[in-house]
Structure 1
Amino acid sequence: MKSLLIILDGGSDRPNRLLKGKTPLQSANKPFLDSLSKQGINGLCYTIDVGIPPDSAGAHLSIFGYDPWVENPGRGLFESLGYNIHVSEGEVAFRVNFATGRGDWPPTIVDRRAGRISETIGKTLAEYINSKIGEIDGWQFKLYSTLEHRGVLIISGSKTSKNISDSDPKVKGAHIQQIKPLRGVKDYDVATQTAKILNKYLKEVWRVLSTHRINLERSKRGELPVNLILIRGPGKPMKLEKFSERWGFRIGCIAGGPLYKGVAKALGMDIIDVVGATGTINTNLDAKFRNAAEALKTYDMIFLHIKALDVASHDKQPLLKKELLERIDNAFSKYFSIGEDLMITVLPDHTTSSTSGHHTGDPVPMLMYSPTVRKDEVMRYDEFEAAKGSLHILKGRDIMPLILNYTDKAEEFGTVIGELKKRYKLFH
């Protein structure tokens, strides 16, 4: 049996007063997702661990059956891979936000996304920064604009460390944070030098952007200036076991956002390019589901990622999130049906509150459907119904063993065929 894994990024939520005390999942008219829950098995999942607000990279690693505490090269590395930016040994990659700050250095964060700028503005500013600040004290810097306000920074020097803190405080109203070496790391001296040069670079970026014509014009129009970059998630190359070797599935990935493509690439998944898959609220949902259905003719498993719900939550738009859920359900139902010889797993990677705009540690609702599962009594797909399901409460690391089991590919405990113990059947 083949498998479809759908991750509704940030799809889980808390009750919202604009939805009369319900979550977007509770409020949305989504008959197909509800029918999958009704005909399947359900539960709640802490994708990292109990009470921990997951980041997307760690949550995806855990869902795919990897240890996010150990088998994790860092978000910056994934973001780079997803945008086909090569990171060499000795380089460090960072996730970047083009942002808005106010006041003298260190500035207060006004908007961590500078109003979700266009890629055109981001590219122009990145090129300008690179032309002005490509090197400081023998260290090299290269800034890339990727999607909307997002970007990637690559640094290199004689010695570099990723064992440093973030400059991004993750909330507006706080100051940009001074980057510091992490306590107790083996390369503390190198981490200290890496942090020192990055603090110098970020201050220079602030100085250079403050007088750029784009920002002068935006300020005149009453728009937010893009006068700051925030960095987080330092990453270096790390060899990870291929997903196909660990779980026995030949898998394809359909995603719009660079981070999710990057995680997939790092795990050896094939990237299936879909026209109109943007990683934004305007993504072509119809094309994504159509391509997923077509790809399942070739692959054993498809990972389909949808980012739009998370965007709506971060922007504190629960009504938009509800509308997007209904659009997702409609597109899903066009290309898939109950009764197919297919296992379908649906879950968010984390809860994103559309009230606060932040990730939370609340568990996410998960459904698993196949024609042969022992279905439970859950009637709808949402956070509260899932709590009644027969899967009870799981961790992210439990998902892939369950998918192996329900696709009848799980090897019996104690069986060893060949040189290495495998969790999956070599012959089925």
Structure 2
Amino acid sequence: EDSYEILDNHPINRRRKDEGKMPANMLWFWGESHPPEIPSFVAKYGIPGAVIAAVDLIKGLGRMVGLRVIDVPGATGYIDTNYLGKGQYAAAALDRYDFVWVHVEAPDEAGHESDIDKKIEAIQECDEKVLGTILSGIKQRGYDVRILLMPDHPTPIATGSHSSEKVPFILFDSRKHERNILPFDERAVHETKTVVEDATELMPMLLETISD
């Protein structure tokens, strides 16, 4: 209400009204709060880390726990994002950081649009240009790594909205040679014997602070 009293009679809004336009005469704050007190990533896990993302929410989460935010040219958070660049920057970041979080928004956006062709394209691009480039870079550098690959939630084509169904994940260790693994798809969620009910256990599993 106070913002209305101040803005409604502002010269810009008076001019907009004279021109038959809607005035911008009220401020609505969304999600206002104070930063939660969360220990930094290095304090909790003892290693430095970085995050690569185009989505502000992910960047903010990274900054909140002290991860270095790495900006990739051409990263858009959409189907036209720079997949190859994300893979290249992630592989290079491992020269400096022991942990790198790579987020790709494109499959989620395709799900919201209920566009199956775009979703298939986004997943294929992630597989080839993000994951493939990271694996190639790791091989060139001779690093031993563990990779956790997973979506943060489903966004089914049928609904175009987020759902709360369980999601599949892959935990890869370059020092091990696994055989007979399940396909990485939604059906695997119901077929696997490895079920993690508490998502907070995934990071310790990845970093080997608890057994996987």
Whole-angstrom CA distance in 2 between matches of 1:270 and 1:349: 21
Change (3 A) 1:401 1:335: closer
Per-residue CA distance 1:228-259 (angstroms, 9 max, x = gap): x9975443233321011011121011011111
Deviations 1:116-174 (A, max 9, x none): xxxxxxxxxxxxxxxxx993357xx9xxxxxxxxxxxxxxxxxxxxxxxxxxxxxxxxx
Query: Match of 1:369?
Result: 172
Provide structure 2 residue ranges, at least 5 long, that are not aligned to the other structure.
none
- 1:286–1:230 distance in 2 versus 1, CA, 3 Å: farther
3-state SS of paired residue (1:355): coil
Q: Which residue of 2 is the match for residue 119 of structure 1? A: none
- Provide the C-alpha distance between the structure 1 equivalents of 2:55 and 2:28, rounded to a whole number of angstroms: 19
Tell me which amino acid in the other structure corresponds to 1:392: V
Contact in 1 for aligned 2:153/2:167 (Cα 8 Å): yes
Instruction: Map Cα deviations across residues 250-272 of structure 1 (whole Å, 9 max, x no partner).
Output: 10110111111011001111111
TM-score normalised over the length of structure 1? 0.41
Question: Which residue in 2 is equivalent to 1:261?
Answer: 59
From 324, 330, 345, give the equivalent of 2:122. 324
Describe the shift of the 1:372–1:319 C-alpha distance in structure 2 as closer, same or farther (beyond 3 A): same
> Which residue identity is paired with 2:109?
V
Is the aligned partner of 1:136 residue 2:4?
yes
Q: Counterpart in 1 of 2:207?
A: 404
| 8 Å Cα contact 1:252/1:303 also seen in 2 | yes
2:206 partner SS: helix
Q: Please, which runs of 5 or more residues in structure 1 have no aligned partner?
A: 1-132, 142-200, 202-206, 217-228, 413-428
Match of 2:36 in 1: 238
Residues 151 and 167, structure 2, Cα contact 8 Å, conserved in 1: yes
Partner SS state of residue 149, structure 2? strand
**For 1:262-314, what per-residue CA distance to the aligned partner results, in whole angstroms no more than 9, with x for missing partners?**
11001111111111112222110000000000010110010000011111111
Normalized per residue, the structure richer in strand is 1
4+ runs deviating over 4 angstroms? 210-213, 229-232, 337-340
* Segment of structure 1 superposing worse, 276-285 or 303-312: 276-285
**Deviation string, structure 1 residues 8-43 (Cα, Å, up to 9, x no partner):** xxxxxxxxxxxxxxxxxxxxxxxxxxxxxxxxxxxx
Checking the alignment, whether the CA contact within 8 Å between 1:378 and 1:385 is kept in structure 2 is no
Is the 1:377–1:389 Cα contact (8 Å) retained in structure 2?
no
Q: Find the counterpart in structure 1 of residue 133 from structure 2.
A: 334
The aligned residue for residue 44 of structure 1 is: none
Q: 1:274-353 maps to which residues of 2 (within 5 A)?
A: 274-331=72-129, 332-337=131-136, 341-353=144-156
CA contact (8 A) 2:204 2:210 kept: no
Using CA pairs under 8 Å that are at least 6 residues apart, name the structure with larger relative contact order, 1 or 2. 1
Task: Evaluate the alpha carbon distance shift between residue 212 and residue 362 of structure 1 in structure 2; reply closer, same or farther with a 3 A threshold.
Answer: farther
Tell me the distance in 2 between the aligned counterparts of 1:302 and 1:291.
10
TM-score by length of 2: 0.79
CA distance, structure 1, for counterparts of residue 176 and residue 193 of structure 2? 11
- How does 1:16-165 map onto structure 2 within 5 Å? 135-136=3-4
Structure 2 residue corresponding to 1:248, chosen from 32, 40, 46: 46
- Asked whether the equivalents of residues 365 and 381 of structure 1 are also in contact (C-alpha less than 8 Å), the reply is yes
Question: Residue 266 and residue 376 in structure 1: after superposition, are their counterparts in 2 closer, same or farther (change >3 A)?
Answer: same
Fraction of identical pairs, as percent: 27
3-state SS in 2 of match to 1:271: strand
Matched-pair contact (CA < 8 Å) for 1:252–1:301: yes
> In proportion to residue count, which structure has more helix?
2
Report the 3-state secondary structure (helix = DSSP H, G, I; strand = E; otherwise coil) of the residue aligned with 2:204: helix
| Alignment-mate amino acid for residue 122 of structure 2 | L
